[in-house]
A and B are shown apart, each in its own frame.
Chain A
């Protein structure tokens, strides 16, 4: 059984020529493509053959049998296709043949047709991505969170990249040289997105609450709450008291981070960014409060 090698690489669709060049270079070194993919490719070892590869994008082939037969007629061997419409072909390399023998699109019109197929998809995906960015951004403004900011950022960068890519594949002469680094950009974007989502899941299960009933004989009540992750936290206060009170959130150095105050039927919330650590929530009744005053407080931080 021959040696197998898995290669985890992501090429942006508009840099498909770079992917073909890399597949050809690997074939020259003895690694032949067994299965191509968007994220993972599998190669087998055979240094007795050299191939030239071709990548075609066509997600709506009306006659798959005629499609493959047309390629087979010119010596192209079908390798595999991907879920999103890319087709991998290979042909035995003969150095005596001209380079055109290894081109599948040989006139400007068909190159533009192929590019147009992907760019239509790219513009649609990019537009959807920007709409998702706008929705995420709106939610992040309404309810700030590190997850919201990371996801919005990732969606924005991804959307812009896809739109630029759709333009680049449609205008190859104006787009300049292939940029291998864009593969790393995609990896970075998906890493930010994954980090944001992971952060969101971890934060989802972290909320704390406390209750307090006013006791005039006791010192000011303090609740020590903790912030396990650096993020925006919202404190919700529901109070029913017949006196004026002040609620403060301070860090352990005594710096006041938030204050809320009022009396009667108090409903308030405050959003603040907290680094991981312990914080004190203090309820202080105004001086001169009647000895018989009552109060019931409920705090929730999420």
Chain B
């Protein structure tokens, strides 16, 4: 259940990454993703709803209760989701290392 069958999309990866330090809501995840990606990755509302819904079904994240007055939805990383994130980060590190071994820092 914790293992991702295939590489994560950028949106999935950043959502999991943004929740690594603690719970956050959709808008917070979107803002943090923009910062982490130097403004390259924007997670729109439709993408956010679909991605969080799928990850809750997979058991990677879970929704936390919020006060009734607060319409923001708060999400938390589960242990399974944490493992998926770590595995993906490891896979990306290997990819980056392989790329570096051939092309170095050339851009």
Which residues of A come within 8 Å of B, CB atoms?
54, 56, 62-63, 66-67, 69-74, 76, 89, 98, 100-101, 103-110, 113-114
Contact = CB atoms under 8 A, between A and B. Distances in A.
A264 B45 CA distance: 80
A246 B9 CA distance: 81
Interface in B37-61: 41-53
B51 A100 contact: no
Contact of A70 (B11, B41, B42, B45): B45
A70 B43 contact: no
A82 B27 CA distance: 26
B10 interface: yes
Nearest to B42: A100
Contact of A103 (B41, B44, B49, B72): B44
Given A73-B71, A107-B9, A62 B53 contact: yes
Nearest to B25: A73
Given A73-B25, A74-B30, A107-B9, A66 B44 contact: no
Nearest to B53: A62
Given A63-B53, A106-B11, A106-B41, 16 more contacts: A62-B53, A67-B49, A69-B71, A69-B72, A70-B26, A70-B45, A70-B52, A73-B30, A73-B72, A73-B73, A98-B42, A103-B44, A105-B47, A107-B47, A109-B11, A110-B46
28 contacts: A54-B45, A66-B73, A70-B48, A71-B46, A72-B71, A73-B26, A73-B72, A74-B26, A74-B45, A74-B48, A76-B45, A89-B45, A98-B42, A100-B44, A103-B44, A104-B44, A104-B45, A104-B47, A105-B47, A106-B41, A106-B43, A106-B44, A106-B47, A107-B9, A110-B44, A110-B46, A110-B47, A113-B50
Interface of B: 9-11, 25-27, 30, 41-53, 63, 71-73
A71 B50 contact: no
Most chain A C-beta atoms within 10 Å of own C-beta, residue among B11, B41, B46:
B46
Contacts of B72: 69, 73
Nearest to B9: A109
Contacts of A76: 45
The 8 closest A-B pairs by CB, nearest first: A104-B46, A106-B44, A110-B47, A100-B42, A73-B27, A71-B45, A70-B49, A104-B44
A114 B46 contact: yes
A105 B44 contact: yes
Nearest to B49: A70
Nearest to A103: B44
Nearest to B47: A110
Contacts of B51: 110
A74 B71 contact: no
A67 B26 CA distance: 11
